[in-house]
């Protein structure tokens, strides 16, 4: 982790300690590379149920979703397709039950997650923990744009800063 990034995280932590707000805007780079939302989404699971009326799919049991370098694992994941005409595309991925999202060496975990594919926006809730090397931040909810890496963590935010590298 660069010294500048560590200073940025330290500044956010210090601001949280001095002012006491429950909202922090942080750089959550998830692997430090741009996310490509146009890549296909691959899903593996123990079972699959498809709703024939809208095409939405519910995967259950040891579910793993991969899109490029972005991975999501959970007990249950629902894939929601866009209602647009002939060529349907994945609109949203909704995960529950011990959700883990990784990208490169970065990871986030929580009880639930919603990933809006076209907007590349990931929202996690329920005891969220984000780790980036020796640095960690936790809170009740995290919203991050996977393309820009800019996100917010709110609800009893706590940060642990790593040592020298």
Range in 15-29, 121-135, 140-154 the model is least confident about: 15-29
Q: Report the predicted TM-score, pTM, of the whole model to 2 decimal places.
A: 0.72
Q: Is there a contact between 82 and 92 (Cβ–Cβ < 8 Å)?
A: no
Helix (H), strand (E) at residue 8: helix 3-19
The pLDDT tens digits for 61-110 are 999 988 888 888 999 999 888 876 556 677 888 999 999 988 877 888 99
pLDDT number for residue 85: 58
Give the position of tokens 């609800």: 155
Mean pLDDT of the chain: 76
Helix (H), strand (E) at residue 103: strand 90-103
Domains of the chain: 3-160 (2.60.450.10)
Structure tokens at 11: 């500044």
pLDDT number for residue 99: 95
Q: Is there a contact between 26 and 12 (Cβ–Cβ < 8 Å)?
A: yes
């Amino acid at each position: 982790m660069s010294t500048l990034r560590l200073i940025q995280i330290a500044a956010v932590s210090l601001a949280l300690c001095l002012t006491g707000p429950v909202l922090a805007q942080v750089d959550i780079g998830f692997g430090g590379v741009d996310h490509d939302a146009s890549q296909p989404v691959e899903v593996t699971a123990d079972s699959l149920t498809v709703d024939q009326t809208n095409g939405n799919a519910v995967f259950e049991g040891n579910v793993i979703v991969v899109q490029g370098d972005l991975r999501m694992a959970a007990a249950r994941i629902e894939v929601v397709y866009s209602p647009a005409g002939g060529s349907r595309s994945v609109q949203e991925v909704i995960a529950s039950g011990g959700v883990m999202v990784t990208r490169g060496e970065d990871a986030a975990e929580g009880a639930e997650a919603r990933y809006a594919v076209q907007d590349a926006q990931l929202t996690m809730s329920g005891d969220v923990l984000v780790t980036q090397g020796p640095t960690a931040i936790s809170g009740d909810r995290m919203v991050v744009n996977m393309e820009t890496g800019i996100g917010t963590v709110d609800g009893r935010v706590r940060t642990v800063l790593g040592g020298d590298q």
